[in-house]
Chain A
Amino acid sequence: MSQNTRDRILNRLKKAGTMTPDMHVELPPLPHAMMDSDELVQSFILNVTAAGAEVHHVEQGQDMSNILTEIIKDTELTRFIVNDDTVFKHLELDIWAAKQGLALIRASEFNDRRSYTDAVFDVGTAGFTTVDYAVAESGTLVIGHHQGHARLISLAPMIHIVLVRTDQIVPVYDDVIAQGLFNDEGPSQVTWITGPSMTADIQATPFKGMHGPKRLVVLLRK
């Protein structure tokens, strides 16, 4: 059935064919294409903050510990789920978590999907991830999802903390295309996150945390 339908549709579309010549419009580049690295960082911070995220600068492990301690204060958090990235080890996140009595689990460590789903949906869970890129033009975080970086850890918890290196910030979306995320063997999904989950569907009253995280915390390090 589908094959016949397909052929009929495509034949019809092709037969009707092109009726007007292609239109061409030249666009001046976005200002970000001309920015130096400091300006890019500033532009990223401006845009990601405007989109509703919090930004903190971290120079070393100690800074991060202080910020995380502040974040978990007065919450019911019991565990952090992270993606696979050696930076967490390097920043001694495991040592800090152990001191706070928090479990630190990599999503890829779960044996089955059921127990992973239970954990990631639990109210006591926060998601902590790295990114593949960040884009200055709109303050967007780009994550490719694969075995080492599950989809739900940046979505199901109320808090998503994200570690961004300043050299991961690129000027515009187009700069990400050439970087391998869109190869056939690449990730099965690429997510572009610009701020926390939000809505204004009732009486046009905006609020964060509709289905995804209410807090998006960006930790920015050189």
Chain B
Amino acid sequence: MDVNTEKFKTEALKALNDSTSRSFLDFFLPVLSMVRDLGLSSFPDPVAAVEKARAIRHNAVSRLGDLLETFEKNAIKLGTKVYWARDAEDANAYIMDLIRTNKVPYVTKGKSMISEEIGLNAALEKNGVPVFETDLGEFIIQLLEKPPFHIIGPAINIPPQDICDVFMAKAGMKNPTTNPVELGYAARLFLRDKFKHMRMGITGVNMVVAENGTIINVENEGNIRFNKSAPDIQVSVMSLEKIVPTMEDAFHMLRMLCRNGTGQKLSAYVTMDRGPKKDNDIDGPRELHLVILDNGRSRIYENPRTREVLQCIRCGACINICPVFRHIGGYPYGWAYTGPIGKLLNPLFLGLDRTSDLFGACTLCGACKKVCPAGIDHPEMILYFREMNMAGNRMLKGKGSRLSQKIIATCAAMAASHPGIWHRGTACGRAMIRRLGPVGQALLSWTRHRDLPPLPETSFRDRVKPD
């Protein structure tokens, strides 16, 4: 997947001027947040339910190594072939190798964030293997060659006319229509043929269960079920943190994931794989491969300040509530992950230097942290990134600060720790800013994206000081 995180500001400006997408964001995201709240209200104690989920994720991540080892043992016992992939290239090469060995003519895919992360489609297409996304939204954006707009509705903002045009051109649709339901059925017809003749299906993984080797997927359309039922070979790709210790934990996380994502008690289909099909089963995959992907996560894990991000279950609740995302949508984030969780994951995978506008564009309002069922403190990590970026942290690829910034920071630190200098400095600053006037202010880079309200003649402190 192309990395466009450095275009964040220009893309955000474009998004702010896109009235179609804006009207969707204004309507769709508050509805999703509302159905989430409604969904959670079906628990006898919604606060405890969220706390329980946070505890499950915290405990699972803190014992990650042991859990993965137990899971692997149990999964292998069930006949699952486990492959540990160091990075994107390693994972893609393994899948490509399976395709070659089994002479697979094309592959179909269920929606998965991780395949965006590793750029699987591009890697397969480069090797001449056609790839068909089968989630409706993903299918549409694949044909339109666009990035996902939203984690749950990747194509929710696309006008029906654009979908009609691309379906006529690339998906065999005969009669033009802008009716969403008819467009959906056209996609059903086209993809049904792919499902019927498929040899290999590729999916992501929502979670795996250490105690018994189960692999779990959650969806509403049924495309993931097809990808796991119709082909000879199933390839599931999981990021290594998607694990819970027990089935009981898995059930609680399923309750939370579905309620937080779409407000449903449970999504239409939850499938739990227990190895490949048995010899006499008429359908199901003959081979079940599970790729466990690191791609830098074990490094993220080593740092106590970033480890928490691995608790995420990709429910989307933080994205729907974020005031920044609600204005700009998903395109400006420029890579696989968007919204508050994108502001944490993209910098960790790509480096702080290429993503500083992402974690810069945050007011630290904390709405994300408040809704997160996985217990992630987004604002805290964003502040850490800002600090490490200025400090030029090598592990996280921080940019470092310019000489002018260093001088300003040193002076500010000195002033802040010496009250005399501070008072004289602020009095001088006030006088200077008052004299600058609006024209002068416009020249300051600080005020380019912020308003500097007119300053009063005397400071608040002077006014309240007892005579």
Contacts and interface: CB of A to CB of B under 8 A. Distances in A.
Nearest to B220: A198
Interface stretch (B301-309, B410-418, B430-438): B301-309
A129 interface: no
Given A25-B48, A117-B230, 18 more contacts: A2-B94, A9-B86, A12-B298, A14-B65, A22-B55, A29-B44, A107-B282, A108-B282, A117-B283, A174-B248, A182-B212, A188-B275, A197-B221, A201-B136, A201-B155, A202-B158, A210-B222, A212-B221
B156 A204 contact: yes
Most buried by A among B86, B163, B184, B277: B184
A203 interface: yes
Contact of B265 (A19, A138, A152): A138
B85 interface: yes
A151 B251 CA distance: 22
Contact of A188 (B181, B274, B302): B274
B409 to A, nearest CB: 30
Nearest to A10: B65
Given A5-B86, A121-B196, A202-B163, A189 B268 contact: no
Nearest to B272: A190
Interface string A15-53: 011111011111111110000000000000001000100
Nearest to A202: B180
A88 interface: no
**Range, interface on chain A:** 35 or more
Given A193-B269, A212-B269, A9 B84 contact: yes
A2 to B, nearest CB: 5
Contacts of A174: 247-248, 251
B103 to A, nearest CB: 17
A155 B156 contact: no
Interface residues of B, number: 97
B264 interface: yes
Nearest to B50: A25
Interface stretch (B56-64, B364-372, B448-456): B56-64
A99 interface: no
Contact of A204 (B28, B62, B212): B28
Contacts of B301: 12-13, 16
Given A18-B63, A20-B58, A188-B276, A5 B265 contact: no
Given A25-B48, A202-B163, A188 B140 contact: no
Interface on chain A toward B: helix, strand, loop, or mixed SS? loop
Contacts of A8: 86, 298
A186 interface: yes
A107 B214 CA distance: 25
A140 interface: yes
Given A202-B184, A212-B222, A147 B77 contact: no
Given A113-B282, A184-B77, A210-B188, A201 B154 contact: yes
A191 interface: yes
A165 interface: no
Contacts of A146: 278, 281
A201 B160 contact: no
Which 5 residue pairs across A and B have the least CB separation, nearest first?
A: A212-B222, A13-B65, A14-B65, A23-B55, A138-B265
A173 B307 contact: no
A211 B282 contact: no
